[in-house]
């Protein structure tokens, strides 16, 4: 008999909520947000909740929301297609220089990152390189189709953000696995254009709810019913943004490899093992006899045998995993450690000195602008992994030695 590794919330007038949260904290606000989502009339079977769960905008980060006949744009969010890419190289720890500052500097120069300062957008290309121009060529027709229906999206930042990192919890890392082999890993999504698409359709859904006088437990749960004016446009646009995000990560990985090759003279292969996975996205899948739209907001697909990436916080371990195909979770697992502090609270509670101590083993920024990403702001990645032992198996354990933050 299969052991049940999750807890269940059952509320009147709502679908069940299955939670893989044993041994990790679940904030009251996140619980209430999940209970609101569970009241929507088009949820298929139940909502699955991953151990890195925490409060989000509209929908809870770390939730898996299967729907039939409607989609909630805020459940997908505005960082559409955000996810991870990792590649094992043929280098080992002995091939890295004693001082890793040069590698960090080379990556920072190769991958635009950070915020707009004055008139300069540090996180965008001034002159897009060849890989970006080629990548955009494969996306141009789809974007033109979106803009033809939604002209206000034309001015969104797209070409100049393709192959760039962004800010917040996005990062590029050099890691070592359990055999001291070198990996490159990075985290980013669809950047400015994905944000514009997400924000635009969230507002259109809210307008529809007001026009149809549909009362919701939270206005951010506004949805687009199948067959409505904007449903097909959104499904097409979100799929396009997810392709943009995947290409974005591939281009950055190419530039990271080229940057490190300028520092390390020894020839190396950078595709010994490779994984590229979304964790903020929607996908058409078949579960429990029905074709459904599965929205994973801060969750990774974990079909049986499927490879995925679960990063820890800045300075903590990360994992390359293999899915176990657990149907109760709609074949999903967590996308990371999950926050225990808001960014504001982290900046108030974590000092630069504490952050520097927690990341002493990593070549990374150790200033006030990144303390909200310090390990103390996140749940224990070990506890998160223990809570989902029936969702994935660990293939590689990675530890960071270089981390580039936006």
**Model confidence over 313-332: pLDDT tens digits?**
888 899 999 999 999 999 99
pLDDT of res. 1: 47
Per-residue pLDDT at 266 exceeds 80:
yes
The closest alpha carbon to 263, from 91, 88, 87, 85, belongs to 91
Higher pLDDT, 361 or 122: 361
pLDDT of res. 2: 61
CA distances from 307 to 75, 297, 302, 361 (A): 24, 18, 7, 28
The span from the CA of 67 to the CA of 291, in Å, is 9
pLDDT of res. 18: 98
**Could you give all domains of the chain from N- to C-terminal order, each with its CATH number?**
7-340+378-405 (3.90.1860.10)
Q: What is the pLDDT of residues 393-402, one digit of tens each?
A: 999 999 999 9
pLDDT of res. 168: 86
Per-residue pLDDT at 350 exceeds 70:
yes
Spatial CB neighbours of 173, under 8 Å, sequence gap ≥ 6: 184, 185, 186, 318, 400, 402, 403, 404
pLDDT of res. 118: 45
Give the number of other CB atoms < 10 A from CB of residue 89. 20
**Mean pLDDT, to the nearest integer, of 354-371?**
92
User: Which pair of tokens denotes residue 316?
Assistant: 């903590």
Per-residue pLDDT at 151 exceeds 50:
yes
Q: What's the N-to-C CA distance of the chain in angstroms?
A: 47
Per-residue pLDDT at 116 exceeds 70:
no
Q: What is the pLDDT of residues 184-214, one digit of tens each?
A: 999 999 999 999 999 999 999 999 999 999 9
The span from the CA of 329 to the CA of 4, in Å, is 11
The per-residue pLDDT of the chain, averaged, comes to 94
Active centre residues (catalytic): 335
pLDDT of res. 406: 78
The span from the CA of 194 to the CA of 188, in Å, is 11
User: In the sheet that 392-405 helps form, which strands lie side by side, from edge to edge?
Assistant: 273-278, 83-92, 181-188, 171-176, 392-405, 318-323, 307-310
Per-residue pLDDT at 117 exceeds 80:
no
The span from the CA of 244 to the CA of 81, in Å, is 8
pLDDT of res. 119: 43
**Mean pLDDT, to the nearest integer, of 268-274?**
89
Contact status, residue 365 vs residue 305, Cβ threshold 8 Å = no
Residues linked to residue 108 through DSSP beta bridges, in sequence order = none
Mean pLDDT check: name the lowest of 167-171, 245-249, 329-333. Answer: 167-171
User: Using alpha carbons only, what angle is made at residue 36 by residues 35 and 38, rounded to the nearest 5 degrees?
Assistant: 65
Per-residue pLDDT at 58 exceeds 90:
no
Q: Is 74 exposed, middle or buried (0-12, 13-18, 19+ CB in 10 A)?
A: buried
What percentage of the chain exceeds 90 in pLDDT?
A: 90
3-state secondary structure labels for all residues of the chain: CCCCCCEEECCCCCCCEEECCCCCCCCHHHHHHHHHHCCCCCECCCEEEEEEEECCCCCCEEEEEEECCEECHHHHCCCCCCEEEEEEEEEEHHHCCCCCHHHHHHHHHHCCCCCEECCEECCCCCCCCHHHHHHHHCCHHHHHHHHHHCHHHCCCCCHHHCCCCCCCCCEEEEEECCCCEEEEEEEECCHHHHHHHHHHHHHHHHHHHHHHCCCCCCHHHCCEECCCCCHHHHHHHHHHHHHHHHHHHHHHHHHHHHHHHHHCCCCCCCCCEEEEEECEEEEEEEECCEEEEEEEECEEECCCCCEEEECCCCCCCEEEEEECCCHHHCCEEECCCCECCCHHHHHHHCCHHHHHHHCCCCECCCCHHHHHHCHHHECCHHHHHHHCCCCEEEEEEEEEEEEEEC
The span from the CA of 159 to the CA of 230, in Å, is 25
């Amino acid at each position: 008999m299969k052991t049940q590794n999750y807890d269940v919330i059952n509320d009147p007038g709502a679908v069940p909520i299955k939670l893989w949260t044993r041994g990790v904290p679940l904030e009251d606000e996140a619980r209430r947000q999940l209970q609101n989502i569970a009241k929507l009339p088009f949820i298929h079977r139940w909502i699955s909740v991953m151990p890195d769960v925490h409060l989000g905008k509209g929908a809870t980060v770390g939730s898996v929301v299967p729907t039939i006949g409607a989609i909630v744009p805020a459940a997908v969010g505005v960082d559409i297609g955000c996810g991870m890419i990792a590649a094992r190289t043929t280098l080992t720890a002995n091939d890295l220089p004693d001082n890793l500052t040069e590698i960090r500097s080379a990556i920072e120069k190769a991958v635009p990152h950070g915020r707009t300062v004055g008139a300069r957008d540090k996180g965008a290309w001034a002159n897009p390189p060849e890989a970006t121009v080629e990548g955009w060529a494969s996306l141009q027709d789809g974007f033109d189709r979106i803009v033809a229906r939604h002209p206000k999206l034309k001015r969104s930042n797209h070409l100049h953000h393709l192959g760039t990192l962004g800010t917040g919890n996005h990062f590029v890392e050099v890691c070592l696995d359990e055999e001291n082999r070198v990996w490159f890993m990075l985290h980013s999504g669809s950047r400015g254009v994905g944000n514009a698409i997400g924000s635009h359709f969230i507002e259109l859904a809210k307008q529809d709810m007001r026009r149809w006088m549909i009362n919701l437990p939270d206005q951010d749960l506004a949805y687009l019913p199948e067959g409505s004016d904007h449903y097909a446009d959104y499904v097409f646009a979100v799929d396009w943004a997810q392709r943009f995000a995947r290409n974005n990560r591939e281009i950055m990985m190419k530039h990271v490899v080229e940057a490190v090759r300028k520092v390390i003279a020894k020839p190396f292969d950078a595709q010994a093992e490779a994984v590229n996975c979304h964790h903020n996205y929607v996908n058409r899948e078949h579960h429990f006899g029905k074709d459904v739209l599965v929205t994973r907001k801060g969750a990774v697909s974990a079909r049986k045998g499927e490879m995925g990436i679960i990063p820890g916080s800045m300075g903590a371990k990360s994992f390359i995993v293999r899915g176990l195909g657990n149907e109760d979770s709609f074949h999903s697992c967590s996308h990371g450690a999950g926050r225990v502090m808001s960014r504001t609270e982290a900046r108030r509670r974590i000092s630069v000195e504490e952050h520097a101590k927690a990341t002493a083993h990593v070549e990374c920024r150790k200033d006030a602008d990144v303390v909200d990403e310090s390990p103390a702001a996140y749940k224990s990645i070990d506890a998160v992994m223990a809570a989902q032992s029936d969702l994935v198996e660990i293939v590689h354990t990675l530890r960071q030695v270089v981390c580039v933050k936006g």
